[in-house]
Amino acid sequence: MREPVPGSARTGVAALSPRYQIGVVLALAVVAVTVCVHLGMVFLHVAPSNTVTKQHGEAVEEWIYPEFEQNWKLFAPNPLQQNIAVQVRAEIRTGDGGSRTTGWYDLTAQDGRAIDGNLLPSHAQQNELRRAWDFFSATHDGDNRPSGMRGALSETYLRRIVVLRLHRADAVEPGAVVDRVQVRSRTTNVRPPEWSEERISLEPVDRLLPWWPVPVDEAQGGAR
């Protein structure tokens, strides 16, 4: 081995002052701890019920939902064979005191256009809206009534997303606020391949949610 040349310039972390070296070590330690905690939470979420999940199940769910929920539909015996489009319209209160109702905005189609031809689409473009709708569907019955404790959380999460999307799409003019929003989904079955004998309806099915009032702190897109 070659002996290091006395006085040669140091590189990498070694080139930093001791104060910055300590900062780097602390930052790496925080990242390592966060990753370990996340992996542990995901493991407890997907693992069978056990003593830890029985005692700390609420903490695990608060960490996982809604951003990190695991979805295994791809590996089901009969994978999901539907196209689900999430659409929204809003009641807008204009700056002069008037009001108007927008047309329907197809948020799923907007995500599709952003992803099409994009070699590196963002996680939000691919999953944010889709997972929010899955979260809502899993916590509400066919009459749009919450079926569990997470129902209100799923409504808040979905409402925040659609309001932000309306502002980003310039559906709300300067000085106007969003008073209420209404969300609907349009589900269309994927046409089976020609060799399949399966017969399905290709008529779209709409699911219309009630109007949701928008809190003042969200009405002008302040959460952006």
174: preceding bond cis by omega (within 30 degrees): no
Question: Mean pLDDT: which of 11-15, 59-63, 154-158, 191-195 is highest?
Answer: 154-158
The predicted structure's pLDDT at residue 4: 55
| pTM for the model | 0.65
Q: Name the helix (H) or strand (E) containing 210.
A: none
Contact 146, 140 (CB under 8 A): yes
Tens digit of each residue's pLDDT (9 = 90 or more) over 70-127: 666 555 556 668 899 999 999 999 888 889 999 999 999 999 999 998 888 888 888 8
pLDDT at 162 over 90: yes
pLDDT at 25 over 70: yes
pLDDT at 1 over 70: no
What DSSP designation does 193 have?
Answer: P
pLDDT at 26 over 60: yes
Tens digit of each residue's pLDDT (9 = 90 or more) over 178-197: 999 999 999 999 888 888 78
pLDDT at 147 over 50: yes
Residue of 148, 139, 112 lying closest to 209 (CA atoms): 139
